[in-house]
Structure 1
Amino acid sequence: MVAGVKRIVVLSMCLAAGFLLSILSCALYGNWWPLVVVFTYALAPVPNAVFGHYVSSDPLADVSSSVADFGRFLTAVLVVSGLGLPLVLAHTGIISSVAMVMSVTGGVLVYGTIIAYGALFRERQDF
């Protein structure tokens, strides 16, 4: 019980640090374009949540659902665009390179927190 609470506290601190870096990348330099990336943070887990019910519960089954694969594809598109958009904005000169580094670091923290939460609190099935 205590270990679960510690995990949640650490994950929430990482998530808060990621959002803080993303917002600071906007506020410190007076350019709010990197805030668009925050919307991809919120939308990235949605396709897996919606289409995840179509995945087979049998890990040895060779059956793959095209609907579940499409959900994974949409998630990958959102994650790559969330990490790549600050790079494109910095390359075109819309945001500074320091704001780009802060936004990408915040994105890595947020996405890493989402992945860690899914890995740490997944229900394990024993055979």
Structure 2
Amino acid sequence: MAGIKALVGLSFSGAIGLTFLLLGCAQYGVYWPLFVLIFYVLSPLPTFIARRASDDTDSTSNACRELAYFFTTGLVVSSFGLPIVLARKAAIEWGACGLVMAGNTVIFLTILGFFVVFGGGDDFSWEQW
């Protein structure tokens, strides 16, 4: 039952994040910030691949996972940088940039929450879903 509550909570927070993103686009009438959706899809992929490809030893450092964390960090930083670059080049307004940044924060905290809740090897994991 705890897994269902966590899944509902993560779904709600993801919907709030997407609402910020769409509000930033629709309020100003420019839909360029929707390109951050690509980063939302791509950011968990290196971690999923690294968890599947690496062995499950209890060592403190794993090169495959460290590389996946590096790529994930690059994708997350790029998703925060894209609205700033678009606002700096006057493709979008700064208010839209702020709303997209708020949406990015909520969405990436939701993705982090997903890995925290469903990433462990406890009685439930993300592999069930």
Name the TM-score, length of structure 1 as normaliser. Answer: 0.84
Q: 2:15 is matched with which residue? A: 16
Which consecutive residues of structure 2, in runs of 5 or more, have no partner in the other structure? 123-129
Partner amino acid, structure 1, of 2:69: R
Count of paired positions: 122
What is the 5 A alignment of 1:13-52? 13-52=12-51
Does residue 74 (structure 1) correspond to residue 83 (structure 2)? The answer is: no
Runs of 4+ residues deviating >4 angstroms: none
Which consecutive residues of structure 1, in runs of 5 or more, have no partner in the other structure? none
Cα distance in 2 between the residues matched to 1:15 and 1:62: 31
Q: 1:30 to 1:55 in 2, by over 3 A?
A: same
Cα RMSD of the aligned pairs, angstroms, is 1.8
| Shift, 1:62, TM fit | 5.2
Determine what percentage of the aligned residue pairs are the same residue: 33
Give a deviation string over 1:71-100, Cα, whole Å, max 9, x none: 222111110001121112112221111101
Q: 1:107 is matched with which residue? A: 104
Cα distance in 1 between the residues matched to 2:35 and 2:79: 8
Q: 2:91 is matched with which residue? A: 94
Preserved CA contact (<8 Å) 1:22 1:103:
yes
Give a deviation string over 1:34-70, Cα, whole Å, max 9, x none: 01111101111111111223444233x25532x3332
Q: 1:42 to 1:88 in 2, by over 3 A?
A: same
Cα distance in 2 between the residues matched to 1:101 and 1:45: 23
Name the TM-score, length of structure 2 as normaliser. Answer: 0.83
Cα distance in 1 between the residues matched to 2:14 and 2:74: 21
